[in-house]
Chains A and B, each alone.
Chain A
Amino acid sequence: MTKQILIAGAALLVALSAAPAQAADEAGYTASCAAAEEARKMAAELHYEWNTVAPLIGKAGAAAKAGDFAKAVKLCDEARLQSEASVAQAKKQADAWRAAVVK
């Protein structure tokens, strides 16, 4: 009986100590994916969105749903970086395309 109480107590301690970390991860996921979505929208407005971005955000949502916030944050960060790269691509191509025209 004492052993069972000890195990239950230890489990409770682990759960209590993990709870704040999970909450932080969830908040991190929300912030990370909001930033990714904002960057995606910016790329879409320029008609330069990459087709790799929406699947990353979709996978992040699935990971978050499964409670794997660390993975979700990683996927959203990747989506944001890709969207930022596509915005940079759009800005560069606004002038760079002229050099490629057959003359």
Chain B
Amino acid sequence: MKMLITILLGAALVAGLAWASPEDDRKAFIEHYQKRFPKVALDDYVNGVYAIDEAAYEQWLEIEEFAPYELAMAEGKELFETPFANGKTYADCFPNGGIGIRQDYPYFDTESGQVKTLELEINECREKNGEKPYGYKKGPIAAISAYMAFTSRGNKLNIVIPDDPRALAAYESGKEFYYSKRGQLNFSCADCHVYNPGMMVRADKLSPALGHPTHFPVYRSKWDDMGTLHRRFDGCNKQVRAKPLPAQGEDYRNLEYFVTYMSNGMEVNGPGARK
């Protein structure tokens, strides 16, 4: 019996030492990038790959002068303000009338036990008010999300992991997804965006993961269109030859929870323009 207690205590101690809290993870994440790119200021990571590529940064500044996402943003504002058939609007569904709230998404909803993203709640709002949901990757949902992000510019990401084992499990699930190799090419998200940012994949420079979620949704020249973060997850999975999982499915929502937590405290600067 005494031996059993000793073993159990030992196992608990080892487990305790091995377990890293989300905040430990975030600090280690930041330190990793600061070691890799010592000249890049922490605040600059919100600019994605342009934080580590001076020439591309100059070109990007010029693109931003006539930002390609502006049309979508104007469309998003109009959609956001247009009442549903029942007379209600998106403002009725969100805190603070939906203005300046992007930084609080995704969050863990203790009632449903699920991670809620902004795009998920946009569609929930539509359905609650008798409207059909939008597709999750592009089109009107990206436009509305772009407008809502714009109203939140400058606010700092404030992703909370409540004291609820289900919330921690969702975070850990997203973390597992992020670091797991998948697809025929056997690449994880981290292989490109943690361990190889700055390296070239054909003609493209890999961007650092730190700051990734601050600027979504984005207008990508490659798409000639706006897209949500889950559209990008979809594209990344395809690039490593994995079959993408459903946008706003549990896997991608948990992934967004983890990725966004890693950028906690960074300023929202979406929508963005990317190559």
Contact = CB atoms under 8 A, between A and B. Distances in A.
Interface of A: 44, 47-54, 82, 85-86, 89, 93, 96-98, 100-103
A86 B20 CA distance: 29
B25 interface: yes
Contacts, number: 57
B242 A100 contact: no
Contact of B245 (A47, A52, A97): A47
A52 B179 CA distance: 22
Contact of B188 (A50, A51, A100): A100
Interface of B: 20, 25, 28-29, 32, 175-176, 179-184, 186, 188, 190-191, 194, 237-238, 241-245, 251
A89 B179 contact: no
Contacts of B245: 47
Contacts of A97: 176, 179-181, 188
Given A50-B183, A50-B242, A101-B179, 13 more contacts: A47-B245, A48-B182, A50-B184, A51-B242, A53-B243, A96-B181, A97-B179, A97-B181, A98-B179, A100-B188, A101-B175, A102-B25, A102-B29
Given A97-B179, A101-B20, A49 B188 contact: no
Given A102-B29, A102-B32, A103-B20, A51 B244 contact: yes
Contacts of B184: 50-52, 82, 85-86
A100 B191 CA distance: 9
Contacts of A93: 180-182
Q: Is the interface of A mostly helix, strand, loop or mixed?
A: helix
A48 B242 CA distance: 7
Contacts of A101: 20, 25, 175, 179
B182 to A, nearest CB: 6
B175 A51 contact: no
B181 A50 contact: no
Contacts of A96: 180-181
A89 B243 contact: no
A97 B175 CA distance: 9
A1 B182 CA distance: 67
A101 B25 CA distance: 8
